[in-house]
Amino acid sequence: MSKIGKQPVKLIEGVSAEISGHELKVIGPKGSLSLVIPVSTEVVIKDGEILVSSKKETKQAKSNFGTIRSLIANMVNGVSKGWSKQLELVGTGYRAEVQGKDIILTVGFSHPVKIEAPEGIGFKVEKTIITVEGANKETVGQAAANIRGVRPPEPYKGKGIKYIEEVIRRKSGKAAKTVGAPV
């Protein structure tokens, strides 16, 4: 059994949850999220906590058990506090601007790149830092990955769009290789 799956998910003040059939809906100040629960997993709301248990003893049921509990915990955190990812633009002339709900990236191409915000996602730009915010952890991560995918950082100069905490492994290039070569 999963050690994480056995732990109850506490409902934070201002967050409510309801189960209808095989769907769990969590509602909070930042919005509402829903999750379809597999048949092999049982979810119960009791005393301000959400308890997850496995109905079957199959390998698939056991693996779903801990995953469902983690997804529910992420939903509760998302509708109460929200999720965010930060990206950094590295490169001369690289910039971003928010236009309505979309973000326009100028990152060295002959044309600006427009990325539309998925539902429930917001963009903020401060100088060279792009912040992606939303209630759903999965869509926040995917929107950030889509932005990074426009111009991933390259290993020679480090130019591109990278996550704030990301460390780029740098290569030395041709000039460093020829220094030690005999003439």
Closest CA to 101 of 84, 83, 81, 121: 121
**Mean pLDDT, rounded, for 115-142:** 96
H/E stretch holding 77 reads helix 59-80
Q: What pLDDT is attached to residue 72?
A: 95
Distance between CA atoms of residues 142 and 136, nearest Å: 10
Tokens of 80: 């109460």
Q: What pLDDT is attached to residue 6?
A: 84
Kindly tell me if the per-residue pLDDT of 1 is higher than 60.
no
Q: What pLDDT is attached to residue 57?
A: 85
DSSP result, 14-70: T-EEEEETTEEEEEETTEEEEEEPPTTEEEEEETTEEEEEES--SHHHHHHHHHHHH
Contact between 173 and 156 under an 8 Å Cβ cutoff? The reply is yes
**Mean pLDDT, rounded, for 5-23:** 91
Q: What pLDDT is attached to residue 172?
A: 87
Count how many Cα atoms sit within 13 Å of the Cα of residue 91 in the half-sphere of its side chain: 22
Q: What pLDDT is attached to residue 147?
A: 97
Match 């209808």 to its residue by tokens.
Answer: 20
Kindly tell me if the per-residue pLDDT of 176 is higher than 70.
no
Q: What is the pLDDT of residues 62-121, one digit of tens each?
A: 888 889 999 999 999 999 999 999 999 999 999 999 999 999 999 999 999 999 999 999
Coil, strand, or helix at residue 157?
A: coil
- What's the pLDDT band for 11 if we cut at 50, 70, 90? very high
Burial 24-52 (b: 16+ CB within 10 A, else e): bebebebeebeeebbebbbbeeeeeebbb
Q: What pLDDT is attached to residue 173?
A: 82
Would the pTM count as exceeding 0.75?
Answer: yes
Distance between CA atoms of residues 98 and 105, nearest Å: 9
- What's the pLDDT band for 58 if we cut at 50, 70, 90? confident
CB neighbourhood size of 160 (10 A): 21
Q: What pLDDT is attached to residue 178?
A: 65
Q: What percent of the chain has pLDDT over 70?
A: 95
Distance between CA atoms of residues 106 and 115, nearest Å: 11
Contact between 19 and 45 under an 8 Å Cβ cutoff? The reply is yes
Domains of the chain and any CATH numbers: 3-80 (3.90.930.12), 83-163 (3.90.930.12)
Average pLDDT across the chain, whole number: 91
**Mean pLDDT, rounded, for 143-160:** 95
Kindly tell me if the per-residue pLDDT of 148 is higher than 70.
yes
